[in-house]
Amino acid sequence: MPDVAEPSGLYIAAPEGDTGKSTIALGIVHRLAVTVARVGVFRPIVRLGEDRDYILELLLAHATAGLPYESCVGVSYPQLHADPDAAIADIVDRYHAVAQACEAVVIVGSDYTDVTTPAELSVNARIAVNLGAPVLLAVRAKGRSPDAVAQVVELSLTELSAQHAHTAAVVANRCEPSQLEAVAEALRRFEPRSYVLPDEPLLTAPTAAELQTAVGGVLLRGDDALLGREAMGVTVAGMTADHVLERLREGSAVVTPGDRSDVVLAVASAHAAEGFPSLTCIILNGGFELHPSISALLSGLRLRLPIIATTLGTYDTASAVASTRGRVTAASQRKIDTALALMEHHVDVADLLAQLAIRVPEVITPQMFTYQLRERARKDRKHIVLPEGSDDRILLSAGRVLRRGVARLTLLGDENQIRSRAAELGVDLGDTAVIDPRTSDLCDRFARQYAQLRRDKGVTVEHA
**Are residues 317 and 252 part of one domain?**
yes
Which residue, 234, 294, 285, is CA-closest to 264? 294
What is the rounded distance in angstroms from the CA atom of residue 250 to the CA atom of residue 271? Answer: 10
Q: Give the pLDDT score at 147.
A: 97
**Are residues 137 and 31 part of one domain?**
yes
Note whether residue 350 is domain-resident.
yes
**Are residues 153 and 56 part of one domain?**
yes
**Are residues 275 and 335 part of one domain?**
no
User: pLDDT digits over 396-410, tens only?
Assistant: 888 878 877 778 888
Percentage of the chain beyond pLDDT 90 is 58
- How many domains are there within the chain? 3
Domain containing residue 398: 381-457
**Are residues 163 and 93 part of one domain?**
yes
Which residue, 14, 13, 105, is CA-closest to 64? 105
pLDDT bin (cut points 50, 70, 90) of residue 1 is: very low
pLDDT bin (cut points 50, 70, 90) of residue 376 is: low
31: left (phi over 0), alpha (psi -120 to 50) or beta: alpha
pLDDT bin (cut points 50, 70, 90) of residue 3 is: very low
Weakest-pLDDT range from 4-8, 105-109, 162-166 = 4-8
Note whether residue 54 is domain-resident.
yes
366-384: average pLDDT:
63
Q: Give the pLDDT score at 2.
A: 39
User: pLDDT digits over 249-288, tens only?
Assistant: 999 999 999 999 999 999 999 998 888 999 999 999 999 9
Note whether residue 130 is domain-resident.
yes
User: pLDDT digits over 315-370, tens only?
Assistant: 999 999 999 999 999 989 899 999 999 998 998 888 887 777 655 445 455 554 55
Q: Give the pLDDT score at 117.
A: 56
Note whether residue 224 is domain-resident.
yes
Of 355, 373, 403, which closes a domain?
A: 355
113: left (phi over 0), alpha (psi -120 to 50) or beta: alpha
**Are residues 283 and 266 part of one domain?**
yes
For residue 121, report the phi and psi dihedrals to the nearest 5 degrees.
Answer: -60, -40
Q: What is the CATH number of the domain that holds 232?
A: 3.40.1390.20
**Are residues 42 and 142 part of one domain?**
yes
Note whether residue 237 is domain-resident.
yes
Q: Give the pLDDT score at 125.
A: 94
User: pLDDT digits over 10-40, tens only?
Assistant: 999 999 988 999 999 999 999 888 888 899 9
**Are residues 58 and 138 part of one domain?**
yes
Note whether residue 463 is domain-resident.
no
Q: Kindly report the average pLDDT of the chain as a whole number.
A: 87
Note whether residue 162 is domain-resident.
yes
Q: Return the bridge partners of 129, or none.
A: none
**Are residues 297 and 234 part of one domain?**
yes
What is the rounded distance in angstroms from the CA atom of residue 32 to the CA atom of residue 104? Answer: 8
For residue 145, report the phi and psi dihedrals to the nearest 5 degrees.
Answer: -75, 160
Q: Is the pTM of this model over 0.85?
A: no
**Are residues 130 and 278 part of one domain?**
no
pLDDT bin (cut points 50, 70, 90) of residue 375 is: low
Note whether residue 464 is domain-resident.
no
Supply the DSSP string of 319-381, one letter for each residue. Answer: HHHHT------TT-HHHHHHHHHHHHHH--HHHHHHHTT----SS--HHHHHHHHHHHHHHT-
**Are residues 60 and 91 part of one domain?**
yes
Q: What is the CATH number of the domain that holds 424?
A: 3.40.50.10950
**Are residues 105 and 48 part of one domain?**
yes
Q: In terms of pLDDT, which residue wins out, 180 or 431?
A: 180
